[in-house]
């Protein structure tokens, strides 16, 4: 694994010295201001940040505090590189969220050792956090991990101006399936549905999650409505191809799914068919993010009411809730 190391100092000479010492330790990136450091961290999260404590403009302490209040960046270990060695200074750094300090002039062996130590600790922490974010039955992301991913990807879509789509997926008449075939068979069914959703989310940024019980979510960053509809259709077809018998179903002979789709397209926010936010909610607010989930959930309800084994998309931007049936090819 090639670790990503972000070096931040307003003095290019210091950056060059750090880079020479850490050559071969990982992929090195550079920033000469606090603002650039945060921008680079948000574009691609580093595994560790070496940060000058005193910089003009945004100080290292301010950068560190900004990292620690951002759920997507708060796990980045920060090593302050500073000429100060006083206890009060270090206490202030630890209170800001620092993992360690390196004093100037820099000892090359000590720097490499401390960077490698923090990278090992982060790898262990990431593994534990990953285990805590996985649903034990299906292996998909759990509800907590989904909520964190939604917040992270929503912010990313707002910054970049990309569309983001969400599929809410429910196994039709699953209680009847459990009652008829038994819970072990029900668990096996959920695992096969989960694998289908995992396969449907093919890109690294796509996130399939078990939302609760027999309900799943598939988050599709940088995906407009048409792309989300294609994914939903592919999921429905894939589940149909599995042909899992469901003798107790009231809508199909085999296990089927109902899917609700919602999309927020920042670039098209001015057009009626794309805005998910109610008039009182700004397009960049958390209200609009919540509206994405609520709209997908309402579309799911419409799919169930419409006969199940189908996908529907709700357009709430036109002043009402027009539940559109997603067409399927024969």
Positions annotated as catalytic residues are 214
With beta carbons less than 8 A apart as the criterion, state whether 27 and 55 touch: no
Q: At what angle do helices 174-181 and 183-200 cross, to 10 degrees?
A: 140
Helices (H) and strands (E) in the chain, counts: 10, 11
Whether the CA torsion 132, 134, 135, 141 is positive or negative: it is positive
With beta carbons less than 8 A apart as the criterion, state whether 70 and 93 touch: no
With beta carbons less than 8 A apart as the criterion, state whether 42 and 11 touch: no
The angle formed by the CA atoms of residues 28, 33 and 38, to the nearest 5 degrees, is 70
Characterise 12 by phi-psi region: left (phi > 0), alpha (psi -120 to 50), beta (else).
alpha
């Amino acid at each position: 694994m090639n670790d990503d190391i972000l070096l931040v100092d307003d003095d290019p000479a210091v950056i060059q010295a750090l880079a020479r010492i850490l050559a071969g330790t990982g992929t090195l990136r550079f920033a000469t201001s606090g603002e650039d450091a945060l921008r680079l961290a948000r574009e691609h999260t580093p595994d560790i940040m070496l940060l000058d404590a005193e910089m003009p403009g945004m100080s290292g302490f301010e950068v560190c505090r900004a990292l620690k209040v951002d759920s997507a960046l708060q796990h980045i270990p920060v090593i302050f590189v500073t000429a100060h060695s006083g206890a009060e200074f270090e206490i202030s750094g630890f209170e800001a969220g620092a993992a360690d300090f390196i004093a100037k002039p820099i000892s090359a062996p000590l720097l490499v050792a401390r960077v490698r130590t923090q990278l090992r600790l982060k790898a262990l922490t990431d593994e534990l956090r990953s285990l805590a974010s996985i649903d034990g039955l299906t292996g998909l992301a759990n509800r907590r991990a989904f909520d964190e991913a939604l917040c992270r990807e929503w912010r990313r879509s707002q910054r970049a101006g990309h569309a983001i789509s969400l599929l809410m997926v429910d196994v039709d008449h699953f209680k009847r399936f459990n009652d008829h075939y038994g819970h072990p068979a029900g668990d096996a069914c959920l695992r096969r549905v989960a694998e289908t959703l995992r396969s449907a989310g093919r890109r690294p940024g796509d996130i399939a999650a078990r939302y609760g019980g027999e309900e799943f979510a598939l988050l599709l960053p940088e995906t407009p409505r048409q792309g989300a509809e294609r994914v939903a259709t592919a999921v429905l077809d894939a589940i149909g191809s599995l042909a899992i018998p469901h003798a107790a179903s009231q809508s199909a002979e085999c296990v089927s799914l109902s899917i609700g789709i919602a999309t927020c397209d920042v670039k098209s926010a001015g057009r009626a068919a794309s805005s998910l936010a109610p008039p009182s909610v700004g397009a960049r607010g958390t209200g609009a993010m919540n509206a994405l989930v609520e709209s997908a959930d309402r579309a799911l309800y419409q799919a169930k009411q419409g006969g199940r084994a189908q996908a529907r998309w709700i357009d709430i931007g036109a002043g009402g809730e027009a539940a559109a049936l997603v067409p399927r090819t024969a």
